[in-house]
Amino acid sequence: MDANPQYGPRTVEEVFRDFRGRRAGLIKALTTDVERFYQQCDPEKENLCLYGLPDEQWEVNLPAEEVPPELPEPALGINFARDGMQEKDWLSLVAVHSDAWLLAVSFYFGARFGFDKADRKRLFNMINDLPTVFEVVTGTVKKQSKEKSSVSNHSSNKSKTNSTQRGTDAQAKYARASLKDEDDDGLEEEDEDHGDTLCGACGENYGADEFWICCDICEKWFHGKCVKITPARAEHIKQYKCPSCSNKRSRP
């Protein structure tokens, strides 16, 4: 845990940077690192909490011993519910509590360092511009699913007409979100469609100059760098599974 009495952002920008780092760590725990997170939440252990750290890392740990704690504490005992519900429902529940905790920490700093009404509003607006952890984990970001399905179907139809060119089709499929498309009619429309698309790993927005890849199972989009896939490697992938889908197993 990082409850250090000497640590504490003091400006709106510093609090938001702290929020963004902790949020990135929580998203990582619930998506790309989900298997490791799941294993650490053993119901046989004591009350455990999921902490997002300012350096974009996460940890599962016991709550702070001091009362009251230096910072607001996350939801207590998340491990006890792990085996009592479907994994996706459990992850969604942890995500909701994580969002509540992130806001509590940020506004704790705001109160402690005397943010006025204008500062609080500015901080909230900066936070509200990012999708919540719950939206990223469950894939319920507004319009994202419909846009991805539309683009995915369009690309699939194109690849069926050229089944003999697997290498070329695969490259077009996985690079269509970031590389130039040879189809002039759909270029501007595709760029607009992807304007609201968010990375399933880091939650950041689509960038036209970045390589993206779509999971064929959950249909979430990811920055290539977030899932360690390069355009060259994507050429040879027939069906891409994101880390979360690759790690999913049927739970007892």
3-state secondary structure (DSSP) of residue 221:
strand
Cα separation, 123 vs 19, in Å, equals 10
The per-residue pLDDT for 73 is 94
Mean pLDDT within 15-26: 96
**pLDDT exceeds 90 at position 27:** yes
The per-residue pLDDT for 195 is 57
- Token pair, residue 83, equals 């085996």
The per-residue pLDDT for 219 is 83
Which residues neighbour 198 within 8 Å (Cβ) at sequence distance 6 or greater? 131, 136, 141, 144, 204, 205, 206, 221
Cα 17 versus chain centre, distance? 16
Cα 103 versus chain centre, distance? 17
The per-residue pLDDT for 198 is 81
Closest by CA position to 173, among listed 192, 152, 187: 152
The per-residue pLDDT for 252 is 44
Mean pLDDT within 154-176: 46
Mean pLDDT within 82-87: 92
Kindly tell me the burial class for residue 117, based on how many C-beta atoms sit within 10 Å of its own C-beta (0-12, 13-18, 19 or more).
Answer: exposed
**pLDDT exceeds 70 at position 185:** no
Cut 0.85: pTM above it: no
Closest by CA position to 53, among listed 29, 83, 89, 86: 29
Task: Compute φ and ψ for 99, nearest 5 degrees.
Answer: -60, -45
**pLDDT exceeds 90 at position 226:** no
Q: What is the mean pLDDT of the chain?
A: 79
Mean pLDDT within 233-238: 78
Q: How far is CA 161 from CA 120, 158, 164, 213, in A?
A: 55, 6, 9, 21
Closest by CA position to 88, among listed 203, 205, 218: 218
Out of 104-113, 171-180, 182-191, the most confident range is 104-113
Preceding peptide of 43 cis, ω within 30°? no
Closest by CA position to 229, among listed 208, 247, 209, 215: 215
The larger pLDDT score, comparing residue 226 to residue 179, is at 226
pLDDT band at residue 236 using 50, 70 and 90 as cut-offs: confident
The per-residue pLDDT for 28 is 96
The per-residue pLDDT for 135 is 94
**pLDDT exceeds 50 at position 109:** yes
The per-residue pLDDT for 212 is 82
**pLDDT exceeds 80 at position 148:** no
- Token pair, residue 212, equals 């993206």
Q: How far is CA 50 from CA 130, 168, 190, in A?
A: 20, 43, 38
